[in-house]
Structure 1
Amino acid sequence: MTRTTNQRGFTLVELMIGLTIGLLLLAGAFSMAGVQLGEHHRLMLELQVQQELRATAEFILRDVRRAAFWDRAQDGVWQDETDAPIRNPFTEVAVEDAGRRVSYSFARDGGSPSTGSVRETSGFRLSEGRIDQLIAGRYQPLTDPDLLRVSRLEARLDAQAHPLDGACPSTLSRRLVTVIVDAEATHDARAGHHLELLSQLHNDALSGDCP
């Protein structure tokens, strides 16, 4: 007696359908992986922009706080046995070009009683998508344009005046500086960041003259 068994395999149509479904699943997986990698890259760029921007803004703020430092402040105090007090020659802080350029000066260590204070001038500006720092009379790049494109630099200087009691009509102004910076990654405009920092200048401004 002969026994026959029915063995059935995949037909060509079934094989093609299976391959198509597998390719679709692989394409979806690769697409999701690509999206996740792109998002991870964007987040890394955004974090880098934030770190660079915060370091730059804090550096600017720290340097601006030195404005109006005078190493001979004792000469500005009125005394009976001396001439009229000398006004601080480093008081002015210039904010120009709608806040895109700020400059100031301060006394640098190295002066002597015979030569007086040594003036040091510093400042910052926005130029061609980067921030430049004024060093020794020349502007030098502070940010890397290959990494960061700065679209906004704005410095604001606000004064809070406090009249002083006494024979002289003098006013002591407490000055606050605000630094606002907007920037984005050079190769990905989606990775951007906005930062705004506020601080008080270490040296107040005195105005008014004694008769």
Structure 2
Amino acid sequence: MSTYQRQSRGFSLVELMISLAIGLIVVSAVLAFTLSSLTANSEYVQSTRLSQELRNSMDFISRELRRAGYDENMNRYTAASTLNALVISPFARIFVDDDADGDGTANDGCVIYAYDRTGGTSGTVERARGEIRALRLAFREVDGQTVGVLEIGESASGLTPTCAGGAPTYTNYPATCNTASGWCALSDPRVINITNFSLDTSGYIVQAGTATSTPMTIREIGIGLDGQLRQSADGTVTRGISSRVRVRADCLEASANCALAPTGT
């Protein structure tokens, strides 16, 4: 009888405390691993979303700049030279400013360009058809914070977008376009803070004109785009991408003229 009692007496208090301590250590390790996995997964999702947002913007910018200078009446330039009254396309000029606010830092670029759109008068820049376009980075007040926003400008009747044109209204969503300046929001400032939009024109190849040759500028524009996901927990999810765009339409003018903003009727 005494032997049975000794075998069924259960755990002592010391044994129970040791077991509880070991269990707490194991549970803590499991919880720490689980939280770490959730954090890593959340950061991965946020990073992927930010990268996708930046890539979408970069794809749009690249398509626009590749199309810059397109002229539906391009055949009139096929045999053009200084010897037979050179004809210059009104779409050829591209204005680039990699420091639009003049603060000495090339992180808020602005580019103004033009391309012929279907319909209308071929070979003529028609502002009413939105054929002069522009892209820029501007820092705006959104929900009480300064946020970098990519903006797109489009010409209208009697209106040509300029780098210093008035801002859209960001007190509502979608942001209201500024009809007086032609500027609208391109990126969503509620989701992403664009911290850098740089434009590098060092890839231009300039051929000066002579008595027997046409001046020409072959253009390749480097683009840098950095951003920060505003909805991340600590606001530190930051990514950057870069690209180089070969403008398909060469400029058959003196290089100084090629760098001017296009004008239209």
Same fold judged by TM-score > 0.5? yes
Deviations 1:30-67 (A, max 9, x none): 11100110011101111111122112101101111111
Task: Give the equivalent residue in structure 1 for 2:204.
Answer: 159
Task: Give the equivalent residue in structure 1 for 2:39.
Answer: 38
TM-superposed CA distance for 1:162, in Å, is 3.7
TM-superposed CA distance for 1:124, in Å, is 1.1
SS of corresponding position for 1:107 = coil
Task: Give the equivalent residue in structure 2 for 1:61.
Answer: 62
Does structure 2 conserve the Cα–Cα contact (< 8 Å) formed by 1:104 and 1:122? yes
Q: 1:100 aligns with which of 85, 93, 109?
A: 109
Q: 1:117 to 1:111 in 2, by over 3 A?
A: farther
Q: 1:34 to 1:180 in 2, by over 3 A?
A: same
TM-score when scaled to structure 2?
0.67
Report the Cα distance in structure 2 between the residues aligned to 1:141 and 1:69, rounded to whole angstroms: 24
CA RMSD across the alignment: 2.5
Does structure 1 conserve the Cα–Cα contact (< 8 Å) formed by 2:114 and 2:125? no
Q: 1:175 to 1:78 in 2, by over 3 A?
A: closer
SS of corresponding position for 1:130 = strand
1:133 and 2:152 equivalent?
A: yes
Identity of aligned residues (%): 24
Q: 2:231 aligns with which of 166, 183, 187?
A: 187
Q: Unaligned 5+ residue runs, structure 1?
A: none
Structural mapping, 1:6-45, within 5 Å = 6-7=6-7, 8-45=9-46
SS of corresponding position for 1:35 = helix
TM-superposed CA distance for 1:112, in Å, is 3.3
Report which of the two has the higher share of strand.
1
Task: Give the equivalent residue in structure 2 for 1:123.
Answer: 134
SS of corresponding position for 2:64 = helix
1:70 and 2:78 equivalent?
A: no
Q: Unaligned 5+ residue runs, structure 2?
A: 101-105, 140-147, 156-160, 162-181, 255-265
Task: Give the equivalent residue in structure 1 for 2:244.
Answer: 198
167-176 or 45-54, which moves further after superposition?
A: 167-176
Deviations 1:151-178 (A, max 9, x none): 10011223212467x8434222211011
The runs of at least 4 consecutive aligned structure 1 residues that moved more than 6 Å come to: none
